[in-house]
Amino acid sequence: MAQITRDDVAHVARLARLELTDDELGTFTEQLAKVLDHARDVEALDVGDVPPTSHPYALQNVLRADEQAPCLDRAAALEAAPAVEDGQFRVPPVLGEAP
Amino acid sequence: MTAADVPHGDTALGIAAAVRSGTRSAVDVVEEHLTAIAARDGEIHAFNVVTADQARQAALELDRRVAAGDDPGPLAGVPVALKDNMCTIGVATTCSSRILEGWRPPYDATVVERLAAAGAVVVGKTNLDEFAMGSSTENSAFGPTRNPHDTSRVPGGSSGGSAAAVAAGFAPLALGSDTGGSIRQPAALCGVVGMKPTYGAVSRYGLVAFASSLDQIGPFARTVGDAAALFEAIAGHDPRDSTSIPEPAPAVSAQLGEGVAGLRVGLVTELVEAEGVQPDVIARLRQAAEALEHAGAKVDDVSVPAVVYGLSAYYLIAPAEASSNLARYDGVRFGLRVDAPTTGEMYDRTRTEGFGAEVKRRIMLGTYALSAGYYDAFYGKSQRVRTLILRDFEAAYQDFDVLLSPTAPSTAFELGAKTADPLTMYLNDVCTIPSNLAGHPAMSVPYGTGDDGLPVGVQVMAPALGEPTMFRVAAAIESAAASAT
């Protein structure tokens, strides 16, 4: 596997919605490379015939009874919001245009 | 100071018995512990917030109920410290992160409801590595917690505040969460008992998610008996957590004193020989194993080969799950918002200012491990390694009832000693991670001290739902440790 590059780190930072300074980009690239280097032991394993485990205790189709039950009320859900309007979460313009 | 001579050394069970019988008031118990906190938490910083008024109020109510002939429950009047990643209605829950600073949850975690039902009194929320990512509690946005045994040292992490609170006598009980060792490693470094239950044995409802297939809530205590009582109070099926095991939780207290005669105990070779494990830690482990042998157990070395891949697999799986779980912190519904002209820029600025360096590192690592072209090589392979570890444990448990290893490679290290290189910090978790990947229960029990006089922990591991036997072995180690010193 190729070493993780500054461009890779800049790319994942964008995907994760994080802004990095040039200095941070350098530090994180170096640190992530070290961790991924340690992971080469896993990468090198031939485990194609081993099924993956996504969960240690496999439960299937966990469903509750189809009955009405109380849930969090709107006022309580909105109470901690940074901005609210008409009983909804208010955010800045999504497309960059002022309302 | 050692674990044996901590102040306020009352056991939780002793307090509960006295409060239930009316010989001691819950108000007095709470005041004594609030006094201990006021005297020394400035130095230790175990707590992000001390909920003194609510604790006094709850204690008053408990005393009223006892006076009225009511039994408030098995943990009546016992002060408990809660890791600050468990939701408490109306009380700030921060995960020691700027992004959640000041957030007051609109509901209680299931464990918080169960503590109240058992009569326990929450005295505060404890410091942690931000979002439980770390092994020293130095990644907290609100400053580090210090080890009560030596304040130049870390308490371990990520549940360092909970471990320190119990070790310092601020509360006889605490709850932590353990994703890769975050209960057991700080328990070892602070000289207390810490236990990670079988995955699904304790509800995660209201626990702020880090890595959902690994996270478990569990108890801290100064004695194995207290840890057992706390585990029993919080365990059991919860329909609000779809990963909760739909069976009654294993009872552990009743069998604690049964001894270890005839039990088969395996010393895991790969974890004894793991990278960085110090000779004094191995020496204490071998003494604990010998003590079990004297008590009638059959002790042997055992190989669990795949655990050597645990650290690498964990540091791909946990960040991958974290990168997804932490996508919810976007400044829209709760927590920090840094204003910006557009929603996209608002996301970027909020997350950039709200998260600390370690959280950013893990989000990026996880995003990378899940990204196109690397998914199979990293995430996919790690999931298969998880199967290998499960299989090797299964084979070992054909011949052994429980397995032993060091909990942490060393005793508590100096603040700042491992912050420069993340990988060095990650190596703290090498012995604890395999049980998380397998979903098995494991616990740390103090056994003596290292060359530096600081506490050493021994890890007892068991197969899924093997808590009863695991606690029995832990109790035997505890009594051997008491007679050895």
Give the 3-state secondary structure of residue B65. helix
Give the 3-state secondary structure of residue B395. helix
Secondary structure of A5-18 in HEC code, one letter for each residue: CHHHHHHHHHHCCC
B256 has a pLDDT exceeding 80: yes
Q: Is B237 on the interface with A (CB under 8 A)?
A: no
Q: For residue range B44-58, what is the model confidence (pLDDT) as tens digits? A: 999 999 999 999 999
Establish whether B323 is a catalytic residue.
Answer: no
Say what the ipTM of the complex is.
Answer: 0.94
Tokens for B82, please give them.
């809660």
Tokens for B30, please give them.
């709470």
Name the residue among B178, B200, B191 with its Cα closest to residue B222.
B191
Q: Note whether residue B450 is domain-resident.
A: yes
- Quick one: closest CA in A to B101, which residue? A80
Q: Note whether residue B383 is domain-resident.
A: no
Q: For residue range B452-462, what is the model confidence (pLDDT) as tens digits? A: 999 999 999 99
A1 has a pLDDT exceeding 60: no
Q: What DSSP character marks residue B253?
A: G
∠ CA A79-A80-A83, rounded to 5°: 85
Q: Note whether residue B208 is domain-resident.
A: yes
Nearest CB to A1; choose among B363, B377, B384? B377
Nearest CB to B368; choose among A8, A38, A42? A8
Number of domains chain B is built from: 1
- Quick one: closest CA in B to A65, which residue? B239
A5 burial level (CB within 10 Å; 0-12, 13-18, 19+): exposed
Q: Note whether residue B302 is domain-resident.
A: no
Residues 40-99 of A with CB under 8 A from B: 40-43, 45, 47, 50-57, 59, 62, 64, 72, 76-77, 79-83, 89, 91-96
Q: Is A28 on the interface with B (CB under 8 A)?
A: yes
Q: For residue range B344-388, what is the model confidence (pLDDT) as tens digits? A: 999 999 999 999 999 999 999 999 999 988 888 899 999 999 999
B180 has a pLDDT exceeding 60: yes
For the entire predicted model, the pTM comes to: 0.96
Please, what sign has the CA dihedral across residues B14, B18, B19, B25?
negative
- Quick one: closest CA in A to B211, which residue? A55
B41 burial level (CB within 10 Å; 0-12, 13-18, 19+): buried
The per-residue pLDDT for A60 is 81
Q: Note whether residue B415 is domain-resident.
A: no
Establish whether B83 is a catalytic residue.
Answer: yes
The per-residue pLDDT for A93 is 92
Q: Tell if the CB–CB gap between A39 and B437 is shorter than 8 Å.
A: no
The per-residue pLDDT for A99 is 52
Supply the CATH number for residue B35's domain.
Answer: 3.90.1300.10
Interface with B, mutate which of A9, A29, A34, A55 (most B CBs under 10 A): A55
Question: Active site residue: B177, B182, B405, B444, which one?
Answer: B182
Domain range A6-43, CATH architecture: Orthogonal Bundle (1.10)
Per 3-state DSSP, what percentage of chain B is helix, strand, and coil (rounded to 5)? 45, 15, 40
∠ CA B438-B379-A2, rounded to 5°: 135
Query: How far is the C-alpha of A70 from the C-alpha of A58, rounded, in Å?
Result: 28
Q: What DSSP character marks residue B377?
A: I
Q: Tell if the CB–CB gap between B312 and A64 is shorter than 8 Å.
A: no
Q: Is B134 on the interface with A (CB under 8 A)?
A: no
Q: Which residues from B are below 8 Å from A90, CB to CB?
A: none
Q: For residue range B73-89, what is the model confidence (pLDDT) as tens digits? A: 999 999 999 999 999 99
The per-residue pLDDT for A96 is 58
What residues pair up with B82 in beta bridges, in sequence order? Answer: B125, B175
B195 has a pLDDT exceeding 90: yes
Q: Note whether residue B293 is domain-resident.
A: no
Name the residue among B206, B85, B80, B188 with its Cα closest to residue B140.
B85
The per-residue pLDDT for A55 is 81
Query: How far is the C-alpha of B64 from the C-alpha of A4, rounded, in Å?
Result: 63
Label the pairing between strands B264-268 and B173-178.
Answer: unpaired
The per-residue pLDDT for A29 is 97
- Quick one: closest CA in A to B350, which residue? A18
Domain region containing B135: 3-261+441-484
Q: Which residues from B are below 8 Å from A32, CB to CB?
A: 361, 364-365, 368
Give the closest-approach CA distance of A92 to chain B in angstroms: 5
pLDDT over 90 for what percent of chain B? 94
Give the closest-approach CA distance of A75 to chain B in angstroms: 10
**Lowest mean pLDDT, pick from A67-81, B180-194, B455-469:** A67-81
Q: Note whether residue B299 is domain-resident.
A: no
> Which residues neighbour B219 within 8 Å (Cβ) at sequence distance 6 or greater?
B173, B174, B175, B176, B183, B193, B194, B195, B226, B227, B230, B231, B234
Name the residue among B427, B406, B397 with its Cα closest to residue B314.
B427
The per-residue pLDDT for B485 is 62
Which stretches of B163-225 are assigned E, i.e. beta strand?
A: 173-178, 193-196, 216-221
Q: Work out the pLDDT band at A56, boundaries 50, 70, 90.
A: confident
The per-residue pLDDT for B6 is 41
Ramachandran class of A37: left when φ > 0, alpha when ψ lies in -120 to 50, beta otherwise: alpha
B2 has a pLDDT exceeding 50: no
Q: Note whether residue B179 is domain-resident.
A: yes
What are the residue boundaries of the structural domains of chain A, listed by start?
Answer: 6-43
Q: For residue range B105-147, what is the model confidence (pLDDT) as tens digits? A: 999 999 999 999 999 999 999 999 999 999 999 999 999 999 9
Query: How far is the C-alpha of B401 from the C-alpha of B263, rounded, in Å?
Result: 6
- A-B CB pairs within 8 A amount to 180
Whole-number average pLDDT of chain B: 96
∠ CA A83-B99-A8, rounded to 5°: 115
- Quick one: closest CA in B to A45, which residue? B381
Name the residue among B368, B358, B359, B450 with its Cα closest to residue B413.
B450
What is the rounded average pLDDT of the residues B188-210?
Answer: 98
Q: Work out the pLDDT band at B3, boundaries 50, 70, 90.
A: very low
Q: DSSP of B115-148, one letter per residue?
A: HHHTT-EEEEEE--SGGG--SSSTT-TT----BT
Nearest CB to B368; choose among A4, A43, A51? A4
Ramachandran class of B95: left when φ > 0, alpha when ψ lies in -120 to 50, beta otherwise: left
The per-residue pLDDT for A59 is 79
